[in-house]
A = this chain, B = another copy of it.
Amino acid sequence: MTISSGGVPSPKYQRLAADLRRRIAEGEWRDGNALPVETELEQQYGVARNTVRLAVDVLVNEGRLVRLQGKGTFLREHPVLDHRAFGPLLPSQRGDGLAAPSAVYHSEAEQAGRRLSAEFEMLIVRARVDVAERLGLQPGEAVVVRRQLRLLDREPYSIEESHYRAGVAAGTALMEPDPVPGGDEAVLAELGRVEVGAVDQLVARMPGPEEAQWFQGGPGVPLLVQTRVTYDRRGPVRVIETRYSADRCRLIYGLGRLDARVK
């Protein structure tokens, strides 16, 4: 073991993990270069391959390393795209700070030199209990879910699902299995339901198996989940749940008066 095993009586694989962290921080294996292969790490540290794998597992689950079968082990890349979830928009963008039509997403990405695309789905399902509660529905009542699967530079970025009470969507373009040009907000406005407020709830958690499969993030990449309930003067209008791959997204909220500096 070339690792200082002096005062710290911790297990080998943990010391090994700590040493790899140090070497990463010091800049070995910059950019896209691979780490030494497992057999070489065995020899460098004089441990069994199993121990090497345990150590690398730790860093993988911290989101620092990615293993690719047949290729090697690499530093995880973190190309982030900011998304302004609320607040003053750039002059070139429409909206009052609350609504974030698809166009806003795309212009954010464009200005960062990235490309955002989306697939659309519409489905009618029984409301999840938490959705039903927020919309004031009976448990098990039907809701229309309009889903956008967003890709950033071809890679999974977010899943956005708008939940509408069936009665609201009935007979409108919201029942069509296609995105509404101008955004769902336009349809709501025609119905006289202009969203003037919202409550956002933010949580982070690890993806479940289906989510992990879609997001392709692998272990160590949490999801950032934003659950927005929008309101007009009559009450709740819709629930918008957006799940972001946390290594690709930062959510921005502009709050209060920002006349001085908008950053």
Interface size class of A (residues with CB under 8 A): 35 or more
| A101 proximity list for chain B (CB < 8 A) | none
Q: How far is the CA of A86 from the CA of B242 in the complex (A)?
A: 19
Q: How far is the CA of A67 from the CA of B56 in the complex (A)?
A: 20
Q: How far is the CA of A13 from the CA of B235 in the complex (A)?
A: 48
| A143 proximity list for chain B (CB < 8 A) | none
Nearest to A14 among chain B residues (CB) is B209
As a 0/1 sequence over residues 226 to 263 of chain A, the CB contacts with chain B under 8 angstroms (1 = contact) are 00010111111000000000110111111111111101
Q: Which of B21, B199, B209 contacts A253 (CB 8 A)?
A: B199
- Evaluate contact between A199 and B254: CB separation under 8 angstroms: yes
Q: How far is the CA of A209 from the CA of B255 in the complex (A)?
A: 33
Q: How far is the CB of A94 from chain B (nearest CB, A)?
A: 16
- Any chain B CB within 8 A of the CB of A173? no
Q: How far is the CB of A14 from chain B (nearest CB, A)?
A: 9
Which of A's residues lie within 8 Å of B, judged by CB?
18, 21, 57, 61-63, 80, 82, 86-87, 96-98, 134, 195-209, 219-220, 222-224, 229, 231-236, 246-247, 249-261, 263
